[in-house]
Amino acid sequence: MSDTVWINQRQPQTLYISQFLLYFSAVISIFDPPPTDVFSNVVIRNVLLLVIVFGSAGGAFGIANNKRWGYILGVVAAVAPFIIRVELARKIDIGFAIEWNVIGLMFDIALVAALLHPMSRDYQKIWFR
């Protein structure tokens, strides 16, 4: 029998919630990609989108299975939407960057806060391999 899980309920609350938020972020990023008019280079936009989608799903799966690479991938995928917002602020204006997908911004902030919370960092330092 395999020990592979999609959600690990035995982890601290912050990592448990992070798993849900990472899976949610992956699904939402598919249906609500970054605006195309902001990125002059389509390759950069698509790479960021792939990092968010596959990084979020892979990070959540890795975190659920106590893998250090999953935690690192999850943090990278959680920070990637902020790169898009900085690019929006630089190209268009700061107001549009904040107003674009406000609910998504709240989830992004919650995800980064949960992943970088001291309880999450301490747990992954001790138990992840």
Establish if 2 belongs to a structural domain: no
Tokens of 106: 């709240």
Average pLDDT, rounded, for the chain: 86
Can you tell me the mean pLDDT for 99-103?
Answer: 74
Q: Tell me the pLDDT tens digit for each residue of 6-48.
A: 999 999 999 999 999 999 989 988 887 776 666 677 787 788 8
Q: Tell me the C-alpha distance between 66 and 24, whole Å.
A: 19
Establish if 129 belongs to a structural domain: no
Establish if 83 belongs to a structural domain: yes
Please report, to the nearest 10 degrees, the dihedral formed by the alpha carbons of residues 98, 54, 49, 17 taken in order.
-10
Residue 1: pLDDT above 70?
A: no
Establish if 33 belongs to a structural domain: yes
Establish if 5 belongs to a structural domain: no
Establish if 6 belongs to a structural domain: no
Considering its fold, how many domains does the chain have in total? 1
Higher-confidence residue: 90 or 7? 7
Q: What range does the domain containing 65 cover?
A: 13-124
pLDDT at residue number 30: 87
Establish if 42 belongs to a structural domain: yes
Name residue, tokens 């001790």.
Answer: 126
pLDDT at residue number 37: 65
pTM for this model (two decimals): 0.86
pLDDT at residue number 33: 76
Establish if 7 belongs to a structural domain: no
Name residue, tokens 């690990």.
Answer: 8
Taking Cα atoms as reference points, which of 41, 44, 43, 77 lies closest to residue 58? 77
Among 54-58, 96-100, 118-122, the least confident range: 96-100
Q: Tell me the C-alpha distance between 19 and 22, whole Å.
A: 5
pLDDT at residue number 38: 66
